[in-house]
Structure 1
Amino acid sequence: MDGTDKQTVFAALSHLLSYPDEEWRKERSEWQQIIGEIEHEALRGHLLAFLESAASYSSEELIETYVYTFDFGKKTNLYVTYFNSGEQRERGIELLQLKDLYQQSGFQPTGKEL
């Protein structure tokens, strides 16, 4: 898998794991097209299957499933620093170190979250 494919996969995963608000649903066909261009067949298939599955849920069901899965589960919490620091103050330092690691690896974090 080349660098462009990796960036596309990571961007798609980031979007697909974000809160499924109305904008998330509106962008479904755009992401379906972007994901459809991923060369890695298995990854492309899994991501497209996820989009197809998500489309079968109502907005309320999708949000409810997202909240139940990610907001209430310690094992499925999306904050990668949560396991080490929980809600402690040290988490901020850990997040900054993670952001630096992303940048050193050639990724450009967005300004949406620390």
Structure 2
Amino acid sequence: MSRVRTGKTTNAAVVFQAAALLLGYPDRDWPRRPRTVRETVAELPGPEIQLLLSFCDRAEREDPLAVAARYVATFDRSRRRCLYLTYYTDGDTRRRGAALARIKSVYRTHGWLPPDDELPDFLPLMLEFAARTPEPGTALLTDHRAAIEVLRYALEAHRSPYAALLQAVCRCLPGQAPASREEALRLTRTGPPAEAVGLDAREPFPAQSRPRPNDEGARR
């Protein structure tokens, strides 16, 4: 996979990059994404890698149209499984606008311009960012860990294969994970202990036209 880097890159960065690709909408290039992720990570150690491989093995056996339909049903038709992280903490409020602006300003401070047609809190975008700038990018994900964990719990309850990707990502985040869905939900209300700090990136995640979440769920 051209965008997954090995060598000196940590497993966490590889996991973030792979999850960014696999959590993107399965458009015409979808069939090559799980295949190239699997080929890239197959020799790496760790339970998080096995979670990625389990997702890829299933995805490669499925019809791309079925994958696309499931993606829409999973992420675009339920507020419980939204891929826009500030939705969990701020909902559709003015406060959310400020949260989005903070994330975008961090991107720009470090020379990375996110796509104009995508919100900066879109999880695949944030994962791509963390893959390219592991230390500060991981800090940004950690600041939004409660939302990521709430999404993980929702995908597990839905018995979605995408839960494996969120499980892999959460295994790569530092610190203590919420002990329960209830604790994760509480943390989305109280907020992270500190704001995200600087990031350093150069290449943007490929732009994908995505809807913004609303009270009826995000829709394409």
- Matched pairs, number: 111
Deviations 1:19-60 (A, max 9, x none): 1112122233221122224332x1111111101111222111
Contact between 2:35 and 2:56, CA under 8 Å: does it hold in 1?
no
Structure 1 residues 89, 32: closer, same or farther in 2, change over 3 A? same
**Which residue does the alignment assign to 2:77?**
72
Unaligned runs of 5+ in 1: none
Contact between 2:30 and 2:64, CA under 8 Å: does it hold in 1?
no
Q: Which is worse superposed, 67-76 or 19-28?
A: 19-28
TM-score by length of 1: 0.77
Structure 1 residues 66, 6: closer, same or farther in 2, change over 3 A? same
Structure 1 residues 27, 98: closer, same or farther in 2, change over 3 A? same
Structure 1 residues 43, 80: closer, same or farther in 2, change over 3 A? same
**1: CA distance between counterparts of 2:12 and 2:48?**
10
Structure 1 residues 21, 90: closer, same or farther in 2, change over 3 A? same
TM-score by length of 2: 0.43
Indicate yes or no: 2:28 matched with 1:25.
no
Indicate yes or no: 2:41 matched with 1:35.
yes
- Which structure shows the higher helix fraction? 1
Unaligned runs of 5+ in 2: 1-7, 107-138, 141-195, 209-220
Bigger RCO of structures 1 and 2 (CA < 8 A, at least 6 apart) = 2
Which amino acid letter does the alignment assign opposite residue 19 of structure 1?
Y
CA displacement at 1:91 relative to structure 2 = 2.8
**1: CA distance between counterparts of 2:44 and 2:100?**
29
**1: CA distance between counterparts of 2:25 and 2:77?**
14
Cα RMSD of the aligned pairs, angstroms, is 2.7
Indicate yes or no: 2:197 matched with 1:104.
yes
CA displacement at 1:69 relative to structure 2 = 0.6
Aligned-residue sequence identity (percent) comes to: 27
**1: CA distance between counterparts of 2:11 and 2:28?**
27
Structure 1 residues 15, 105: closer, same or farther in 2, change over 3 A? farther
